Amino acid sequence: MAQRQGKRADRSEARVPSPGPDRHRRADAALGDLVRLLTATLDPDVVAQRLVDHLLSLFNARTTALFRVEAETGNLVGVAMAGDVGPAGRAPVVIPAGMGMVGLATRARRPVATLDALTDPQLEYTAGVRAQIERAASRAVLAVPVIVRDQVIGAIVIGDLLGRIFDEEEVRLAESIADHAAIALENARLHDAAMRRERALTAVLRSARTVMEAVNLREILARIIDEAARIAGTPHVKIMLVDAAGGVLRLAAVQGTSMPTGSVLPLGEGLSGIVATTGERLFVADARDDLRNPFRDHDRARGMVTYLGLPIRTGGETIGVLTFNTTEPRRYAGEELEYLTAFADQAAVAIRNAQQVATLARSEEHYRAIVEGSVQGILIHTAGTIRFVNQALVRLMRLPGPEPLLGTSVFDFLAPTDRPRIEAYG
């Protein structure tokens, strides 16, 4: 098992555990205890903290830590720490990809150790990271990658006083612990992901019901905005609807972004115009400098950073775009995008239904206006029962209003000899 040692230190500075006749047996027992601890819970945070706490005791170390690899950047993000962590334990720790002992271990995919992490010539640091190491007491370091299904997902780090030597048996034990930790961490991650999916699905269904309970288009749009902001965790949401006749997108509802009322975007132009014409979602990590974004000056002035546009589609047709902006850098996980897309699909049904109801209402108003404006007397009946009477008929019959006729039978006003013929028309 390869180890990397920095400059040799005086053995009086190092804390080297005495081998002892039963050291191997104690290590096996400690490993068994750790496995039981890690498998007793499926909470990822608890698993991580139990791991570093146990490592601290098992290796009689000064500090221990667990890092995870950030998928987008490759940076190593501190998940849990134990021991004398100093200020770093109270703030998020991020180590650039490939840097330091933890970066070396994840890049090399094997355990690495050094007597002095500060002076080891094979390690690289930024000025900030080097300053942190200079202040730290734990300069002897053992780092072991955590690998799941041949993918490095993180690393465990054990730190101690300058000059401690991590012998081969300790390296093997740390490697074995990393293997068991990988299984426990992956199980906890899968369980957590399943629980988050369940919570997200519940939230989407609840939000969809809330939207569907609205009656008119304006109320539906307002509810979509509110629920979308809650699900996505950002207050900056807007809806732009397609005006096919005009070939444009029109701002229909907005929250947080302060976009001017009546904003119009030609189809195919701008970020939302692209979403509307392609029918595909679009994410932009920094919309402030994206030349496709006609509102980049507006976004820059208001501190907007990311853009996410989702097509509002129903029946194979894109009828609008639901957009999200954030004022901080953000990445959406695949499952987040699926939940938000599912919500956008539900919103599309509600919007289309409201649009059809509004169209029907306008048609009814137009028809009523024609009937009311006619100089001929007109009545409308259902199975012979009068439901509507226009004003011309009211005047013709010299009635005070339509009420005396509503609900009566149309046959009461026909000659008995005409009734069979009229009934025959159905």
Distance CA 285, CA 389 (A): 61
Residues 187 and 252 in one domain: no
State the residue range of the domain holding 128. Answer: 23-192
Residues 60 and 158 in one domain: yes
Residues 49 and 124 in one domain: yes
In a domain, 67, yes or no: yes
Residues 234 and 355 in one domain: yes
Number of domains in the chain: 3
| Cα atoms in the 13 Å half-sphere on the side-chain side of 100 | 31
Residues 397 and 348 in one domain: no
- Residue ending a domain, among 361, 387, 415, is 361
68 class by beta-carbon count within 10 Å (0-12 exposed, 13-18 middle, 19+ buried): buried
**Residue 97: CATH number of its domain:** 3.30.450.40
Determine the pLDDT at residue 8: 33
Residues 63 and 127 in one domain: yes
| 169 touches 177 (CB < 8 A) | no
Determine the pLDDT at residue 208: 65
Residues 118 and 246 in one domain: no
279 token code pair: 């029918």
Using 50 as the pLDDT threshold, list the residues of the chain that sit under it: 1-19, 21
Residues 36 and 125 in one domain: yes
Residues 237 and 261 in one domain: yes
In a domain, 197, yes or no: no
In a domain, 114, yes or no: yes
In a domain, 208, yes or no: no
Residues 90 and 181 in one domain: yes
In a domain, 10, yes or no: no
| One-letter identity of residue 120 | D
In a domain, 406, yes or no: yes
Determine the pLDDT at residue 322: 95
- Give the Å distances, CA to CA, from 76 to 45, 154, 404: 16, 7, 82
Calculate the average pLDDT of the chain.
Answer: 80
Task: Choose among 408, 414, 418: nearest CA to 380.
Answer: 408
Residues 187 and 281 in one domain: no
Determine the pLDDT at residue 299: 86
pLDDT in tens, 269-314: 999 999 999 999 999 999 988 999 988 888 888 889 999 999 999 8
Left (φ > 0), alpha (ψ -120 to 50) or beta: where does 150 sit? left
Residues 262 and 410 in one domain: no
In a domain, 36, yes or no: yes
End-to-end Cα separation, the chain, in angstroms: 95
Please count the other Cβ atoms lying within 10 Å of the Cβ belonging to residue 112. Answer: 28
**Nearest-5° Cα angle at 384, 382 to 385:** 65
Determine the pLDDT at residue 319: 93
- Residue ending a domain, among 192, 227, 248, is 192
Determine the pLDDT at residue 12: 32
In a domain, 202, yes or no: no
328 class by beta-carbon count within 10 Å (0-12 exposed, 13-18 middle, 19+ buried): exposed
SS3 sequence of 171-226? HHHHHHHHHHHHHHHHHHHHHHHHHHHHHHHHHHHHHHHHHHCCCCHHHHHHHHHH
